[in-house]
Amino acid sequence: MPEIEFIRPGHTFIIAEGGVNHNGDVGRAHSLIDAAADAGVDAIKFQTWRAEGLATAEAPKAAYQLETTGSGGNQLDMLRELELPEEAIPELIAHAQDRGIRFLSTPHDWEAIDILDRFDVFAYKVGSPDLTNIPWLAHMATKGRPIILSTGMGTLSEVDEAVQRIRAEGNEKIVLLHCITSYPAKFQDCNLRAMQTLHQAFQVPVGYSDHTPGVEVSVAAVAMGASVIEKHFTLDRNLPGPDHLASLEPDQLRALVDGIRNVETALGSAIKQPVPIEQDIKPMVRKSVVATRNIPAGSTITADLITTKRPGTGIAPKYLESLLGRHVSEDIPEDAILQWAQIR
């Protein structure tokens, strides 16, 4: 796989998806950056578009958007209210850098690709709706930046078409995110194993863009090999707007980060061997061969004369059967732990 600088073994790249949860307010976008940094994520992500370049007046709201924003207007009206001005991008990038996290944005139209390129973003994050926007992906690929591509609503053949076109433009820096495009996504729809299918099929880093409530599915994805996790978050789930209800609040985002980092540590080594603390405990809890009663010197060991008990400081239980028929060289008291020096 080609080297992608933000993909590191043992460290999941966590993207806090601020998305449109600023509600078009640059000040709230800055507050989202602070909350994301406080939670310990790696990157904050917004979305970049001109509403007229993203949707026509004929585009209706999706069902979840109707539920969260009401039945009035269409997508174009809603998007105008959620648009971040281009001139705000440099200050948001600077703020993120000052807080020690990275800035990402999802471009949603052709111009946005070029805008983000001018601001020298470290990668592009592509939303699931543009998985099949092949010429648009090709234009993005020519910029030479890593592409984090969500695959919600997609089939494996559609993912293949997108990947092949990106590669055809000379860009091998691809990360694929399994995703379920539903807000919120149901647990029974997650099919996390599909993330592993993406890795096997395309031999690229994979991850999960999580729209489920809570944090457990993202943590599970990390245990299954996710290199990147993306999760929507908001300052307050009660705010108006299409995505707040399907987002984590800051304390939940912190719990997500902590859970992922704990799992990364717990994954550890693939070698099955005792860890140092077990070496201290092992002799205390394992067992040894023990005399069930007094055994005089010279006696032949029979099954009724020995059993196994703690601690494990004498002859190991696996040798119990091989001791039968052998002789003891000295008197062994009842309940004494047998040692090899006593056996002949």
Is the pLDDT reported for residue 2 higher than 80?
no
Residue 154 and residue 28 share a domain: yes
Q: Each residue of 52-65: pLDDT tens digit? A: 666 676 767 566 66
Give me the pLDDT at residue 23, please.
Answer: 86
177, 148 in Cβ contact below 8 A? yes
pLDDT class for 241, splitting at 50, 70, 90? confident
Residue 288 and residue 166 share a domain: no
Residue 256 and residue 319 share a domain: no
Domain that holds residue 319: 276-342
Beta strand 228-232 with 288-291 is unpaired
Average pLDDT over residues 122-143: 98
Measured distance CA(311)–CA(193) in Å, rounded: 44
Is the pLDDT reported for residue 207 higher than 60?
yes
Average pLDDT, the chain: 93
Residue 260 and residue 187 share a domain: yes
Q: Report yes or no on 300 lying in a domain.
A: yes
Q: Report yes or no on 20 lying in a domain.
A: yes
Of 267, 293, 311, the position where a domain reaches its end is 267
Q: Report yes or no on 292 lying in a domain.
A: yes
Average pLDDT over residues 246-275: 96
Residue 144 and residue 111 share a domain: yes
Residue 225 and residue 297 share a domain: no
Q: Each residue of 307-340: pLDDT tens digit? A: 999 999 999 999 999 999 999 999 999 999 999 9
Residue 239 and residue 159 share a domain: yes
148 or 20, greater pLDDT? 148
The CATH number that applies at residue 312 is: 3.90.1210.10
Residues 47, 38, 121, 167: is their CA dihedral positive or negative?
Answer: negative
Q: Report yes or no on 134 lying in a domain.
A: yes
192, 220 in Cβ contact below 8 A? yes
Cα 111 to Cα 90, 117, 135, 187, 230: the distances in Å are 16, 10, 13, 36, 24
Residue 287 and residue 144 share a domain: no
Residue 144 and residue 258 share a domain: yes
- Record the tokens describing residue 186, joined without a space: 């149901």
Measured distance CA(8)–CA(281) in Å, rounded: 34
70 Ramachandran zone, left/alpha/beta (phi>0; psi -120 to 50): left
Q: Report yes or no on 6 lying in a domain.
A: no
Measured distance CA(326)–CA(332) in Å, rounded: 14
Residue 211 and residue 113 share a domain: yes
Residue 240 and residue 286 share a domain: no
Q: Report yes or no on 70 lying in a domain.
A: yes
Count of domains for the chain: 2
Neighbours of 235 (CB within 10 A): 19
Measured distance CA(144)–CA(170) in Å, rounded: 8
Of 250, 267, 284, the position where a domain reaches its end is 267
Q: Report yes or no on 2 lying in a domain.
A: no
Q: Report yes or no on 76 lying in a domain.
A: yes
Tell if the pTM clears 0.75, that is, is over it. Answer: yes
Of 213, 247, 267, the position where a domain reaches its end is 267
Residue 146 and residue 67 share a domain: yes
The CATH number that applies at residue 142 is: 3.20.20.70
Q: Where are the beta strands (DSSP E) in 165-218?
A: 174-179, 206-210
pLDDT class for 294, splitting at 50, 70, 90? very high
**Closest-CA residue to 92 (of 124, 48, 54):** 48
Length of the chain: 344
Q: Each residue of 174-203: pLDDT tens digit? A: 999 999 999 899 999 999 999 999 999 999
Q: Each residue of 64-83: pLDDT tens digit? A: 665 666 656 666 666 676 78
